Amino acid sequence: MNITNDIKYIGVNDHKIDLFEGQYVVPNGMAYNSYMILDEKIAVMDSVDANFKDEWLTNIKNALGCRKPDYLIVQHMEPDHSANITSFAECYPEAKIVSSAKAFAMMKNFFGTDFSERQIVVGEGDTLSLGKHNLTFVTAPMVHWPEVIVTYDSTDKVLFSADGFGKFGALDVEEDWACEARRYYIGIVGKYGMQVQSLLKKAAALDIRIICPLHGPVLSENLEYYINLYNIWSGYQIETDGIVIAYTSVYGNTKKAVMKLEDKLKANGCPKVVVNDLARCDMAEAVEDAFRYGKLVLATTTYNADIFPFMREFINHLTERNFQNRTVAFIDNGSWAPMAVKVMKGMLENSKNLHYAENEVKILSALNAESEKQLDALADELCK
């Protein structure tokens, strides 16, 4: 696939993977992207997952024709992008390896060598000329590893964005970009919103026509749409007006309360209500919803003087990703000593700019007239 006249796609699709990074369900697989810039000198941009060594090396050979590469540019050292650096180095012993100082230290850890005799260390603002293509390197620490660099080609106006603007899903499957890009961003990069904001500011100074990420499709149209979403996500802003109800239920009584609240919210005209059973849903999808919408209802049981384990896991996912700037409401079901609201608020106490709903729902085993009134009051408040 040609990205431009001189830039070719040489990545691979993975349909064998079941869990990306050992935790994210990827029903449509993954793409491990790699690119080649053909000029007076030739640069290969990043490697691919270890399982696709032969396919990647064949893609390189086919794109090269009778030529040989001069550089391998390593932007990110996660193994799904760096696993085949040594294989490349063995196949092309004259090629230089271009990366950040921290990346070379990681190579020593991963491979037992930092390729000292072949390395070109680059940092913020450093450049590399391939002929007519001039590359500028931009540091992107903690987006989402410390060694990351991104690369700007001023000739074709291309930003090679490392894991930025990545998404789940192989490239031979058609699917909505935002849904799987959002789940990818929130799950993998979401903790580092400040660092992403810093990179977006650097990118704003560049004339970018094409974005080439390490996962997901090449972006070449309506870039404002993608950049705006990244600005919303990394700024922890509300993307969509709506309410998420995340719940756990042991014997069904908390679930009954949640279903009644959902009906009341819809009857009150709330534009969007999303319900997640945390024991059964894809946890990453539930976390994505919490960051997408503006209001979150947490409904769970008191359990061993704490909260039900799936709710604890869910809140941990939120707080480790810097959950903030939202309205949060609570439903507590405790038969003799309700503790859930106290525990949940304690878990959220370091989260910034959370507004707690005035109305809370306290259930003593099962809904009664009093807790039904509390549900009505909460639904009215959330739909204001």
- More confidently predicted of 335 and 288: 288
Per-residue pLDDT reduced to its tens digit, 250-287: 999 999 999 999 999 999 998 899 999 999 999 999 99
3-20 exposure pattern, b = at least 16 Cβ within 10 A, e = fewer = bbebbbbbbbbbeebeeb
pLDDT of residue 174: 92
Quick: pLDDT tens for 76-124: 999 999 999 999 999 999 999 999 999 999 999 999 999 999 999 999 9
Please check whether residues 253 and 188 belong to one and the same domain.
Answer: no
Same domain for 128 and 24?
Answer: yes
The partner residues of 302 in beta bridges, in order of sequence, read 307
The reply to whether 22 and 168 lie within a common domain is yes
Clarify whether residues 278 and 375 are in a common domain: yes
Q: Are residues 211 and 297 in the same domain?
A: no
For the stretch 146-166, pLDDT in tens is 999 999 999 999 999 999 999
Average pLDDT over every residue of 326-340: 91
Q: What is the pLDDT of residues 36-69, one digit of tens each?
A: 999 999 999 999 999 999 999 999 999 999 999 9
| Contact indicator for 326, 296 with CB cutoff of 8 Å | yes
Residue 49 has a pLDDT of: 97
For residue 337, the enclosing domain spans 240-382
Q: What pLDDT score was predicted for residue 99?
A: 98
Whether 297 and 196 share a structural domain: no
| Domain identity same for 294 and 189 | no
Classified as helix, coil or strand, 254 is helix
Q: What is the pLDDT of residues 10-23, one digit of tens each?
A: 999 999 999 999 99
Do 96 and 112 fall into the same domain?
yes
Strand partners, 98: 73, 120
Residues 218 and 265 both lie in one domain: no
Q: Is residue 2 part of a domain?
A: no
Instruction: Determine the residue type at 67.
Output: R
Count: domains in the chain = 2
Of 324, 333, 327, the residue nearest 362 (C-alpha): 333
- The CATH number linked to 222 is 3.60.15.10
Give a yes or no: residue 258 inside a domain. yes
Q: How far is CA 179 from CA 184, 188, 225, 234, in A?
A: 9, 14, 13, 16
CA distance linking residue 221 with residue 205, whole number of Å? 19
Q: Give yes or no: residues 185 and 248 share one domain.
A: no
Mean pLDDT of 119-140: 97
The 10s digit of each residue's pLDDT in 166-211 is 999 999 999 999 999 999 999 999 999 999 999 999 999 999 999 9
Q: Is the pLDDT of residue 336 over 80?
A: no
- Considering the domain architecture, whether residues 197 and 267 belong to the same structural domain is answered as no
Do 255 and 285 share a domain, yes or no? yes
Mean pLDDT, rounded, of the chain:
96
Angle at 344 (CA atoms; ends 342, 346), nearest 5 degrees? 70
Helices 369-382 + 253-267 axis angle, to 10: 40
Distance CA 11, CA 277 (A): 37
Q: Which residues pair with 298 in a beta bridge?
A: 246, 330
